[in-house]
Amino acid sequence: MEILLVLGVLVVGVAIFAVGVYNSLIVLKNKVDEGWADIDTQLKRRWDLIPNMVETVKGYAKHEDKVFVQVTEARSQAMQAKTPDEHAKAENMLTSTLKSLFAVAENYPELKANQNFMDLQATLRDVEEHIQMSRRYYNGTVRDFNTKLQVFPNNIVAGILGFKDREFFEIDDKEKENVKVSFKEEAPAAPAPEAPKAPEAPAAPAAPEAPKEEPKAEEPKPEAPAPEEPPAEEEKPE
């Protein structure tokens, strides 16, 4: 009787543990699926932009047929990919061909100034940033899911329940950095700041000028007295 009771407790304990592992794996699996759905949405936005970009460049460089064919074929292969690994390889190839497309556009100033082409560049840049953010989230959830799946004794329960490791989505960052999506003219480099000049020694103060003597007003000379007339002689009586 006691043996049956112990066995019953063990069975209940294993069942509770298995349910806990299953629920945690389901939560992580849903996060992985959510992350991949976001990546898939951004990749589709990227694929939708490419035909417009090819047509815009073709309007200025019709003779670059080889580049246009390569971009179109790479886009088609990317759309046919199924697994994250297949998508990663196809996207790396597509990125390489886009680099060639932008290299062609570099030779046409009128194209670089085309408003439609500038808008496509801005949208592509925004899509690339969202792909990078979605990829980081997805790979993080895949790492957590695979770790939970592989540790003992979770791996036993996961194997029985049919869970399998998920693939990471790896894109060659070096290739993606080489895709030039902006043709804005670079601002001229700022001139190097000149070394501060040593302050000049203050000039010695000028010696004060001697006060100028004001010319004195000439005093009026005294007029010479007029000569007195001699007195008239008195007449003597006869």
Per-residue pLDDT, 173: 58
Tell me the residue range of the domain where 42 lies.
Answer: 18-177
Helices (H), the chain: 2-58, 65-80, 84-105, 109-112, 115-150, 154-161, 173-177
The answer as to whether 209 is a domain residue is no
The answer as to whether 46 is a domain residue is yes
Per-residue pLDDT, 175: 46
CA dihedral of residues 51, 131, 172, 92 (deg, nearest 10): -20
Distance between CA atoms of residues 148 and 160, nearest Å: 15
The answer as to whether 191 is a domain residue is no
Amino acid at 87: H
Q: How confident is residue 43, by pLDDT bands cut at 50, 70 and 90?
A: very high
The answer as to whether 7 is a domain residue is no
pLDDT in tens, 67-117: 999 999 999 999 999 999 999 999 999 999 999 888 888 888 888 888 888
Closest CA to 163 of 140, 145, 151, 137: 145
Amino acid at 77: Q
- For 212, 218, 219, the CA distances from 215, given in Å and listed in that order, are 9, 9, 12
Stretch 215-231: mean pLDDT:
48
pTM for the structure as a whole: 0.67
Domain count, the chain: 1
The answer as to whether 114 is a domain residue is yes
Q: Is the pLDDT of residue 36 over 60?
A: yes
Joined together, the tokens standing for residue 26 give 């389901």
Q: Is the pLDDT of residue 206 over 70?
A: no
The answer as to whether 135 is a domain residue is yes
Q: What is the CATH number of the domain that holds 77?
A: 1.20.1440.20
The answer as to whether 236 is a domain residue is no
Per-residue pLDDT, 233: 47
Burial class (CB in 10 A: 0-12, 13-18, 19+), 108: middle
Per-residue pLDDT, 35: 94
- Phi, psi (deg, nearest 5) at residue 154: -60, -35
Percent of the chain exceeding pLDDT 70 equals 71
The answer as to whether 10 is a domain residue is no
pLDDT in tens, 160-196: 888 899 999 987 655 444 444 443 433 344 444 454 5
